[in-house]
Structure 1
Amino acid sequence: MNFIATKLQDCYIIEPKIIADERGYFMESFNEKTFANGVGQHVHFVQDNQSFSTKGVLRGLHYQCGDHAQAKLVRVLQGEVLDVAVDIRPNSPTYGQYEAVLLSAENQKQFFVPRGFAHGFLVLSATATFFYKCDNFYNKESEGGLLFNDDALDIDWNFPLDQLIISEKDTILPTLNNAKKVW
């Protein structure tokens, strides 16, 4: 696996080693030891989640607060998404900055989003199956979120905003300046 540091401290794009032949391919999608060496920390994943969405669906930007904060390792099993992480750690040198990564079934890239980040994705293909590992269990009372089009974040979704499909819950999320603190 190749671990590529992003402009956001502790966030990594991960390119797996793919062994392909006429039968198809094989790849190791996760190895705890390799992962810990690659990101420089031990992360114990406890929950796997999967979602299916159609083109234009934007999910996010979500996070968990306090003792329930979550690190995520995300990838796309089918289709293509623009995946976005926003650093919301108050004392981070990259606070309020974002990283956007194109994840697809074709490129097999993964994105590690550590604790203290808001996360979301936009489906670019007709449909997409999105998979992610979390290092902490979901807790409804600890939910936090950021408005996807917050001017302070200035995220380039590279998609017509009038064509987005967003849940009502996500359209009323607060801006970065008014959001729940991650810790």
Structure 2
Amino acid sequence: MGKLGPAPGAGPCPTWTESGDGKDGSRSARRPRLGRARHGPQGVGRASSKPASSWPSAVLRATKIRLSLDLSRVQWAVLAACSTASGASHDYEGIYGLGRAFRLAGARTVLLSLWPVEDQATSIWSEALYRARVTERADTPAAMQAAQRAVLAARRKSGQSDHPWYWAGFLALGDWR
């Protein structure tokens, strides 16, 4: 079996940001916030709605999430950036990373990527994921399955590779509902 990795010509990794400023109804005191992806330097986890030139002051670190944020009302935190499931491994305690930090801060379910995900496939995956979750009221496994199938269908329709690297890069951590 071949090694999983970025596709030839894959662009920079999208990065996680907060879900809007409330002007379009994307943020509400009654509804959980959802993340969205945007472009940034590969391998750098950022959380900001500011222009890239001001990113250094907007780095979102696991410690800050765990200690500073109350995510107890967040049902889903979607970290659709490159390798968000990665982190330092600690004997008998698992991986310390963004997923663990979001769970410790109170997020019920965290969706993470296992490797450097490809931009176009992630965009299709994210749209299908939110459509299944919000419009169709699907639980986490069904929404993730719908997203994976949407990526497969789109890639097959356009004659592109249907290798799992494009559609199987995400996992759910926490509550499966």
Q: TM-score range by the shorter chain?
A: under 0.3
Q: Which has the higher helix share?
A: 2
- Flag the structure with more relative contact order, 1 or 2, with Cα contacts below 8 A and sequence separation at least 6: 1
Give TM-score, length-normalised by structure 2.
0.27
Q: Which has the higher strand share?
A: 1
Give TM-score, length-normalised by structure 1.
0.27
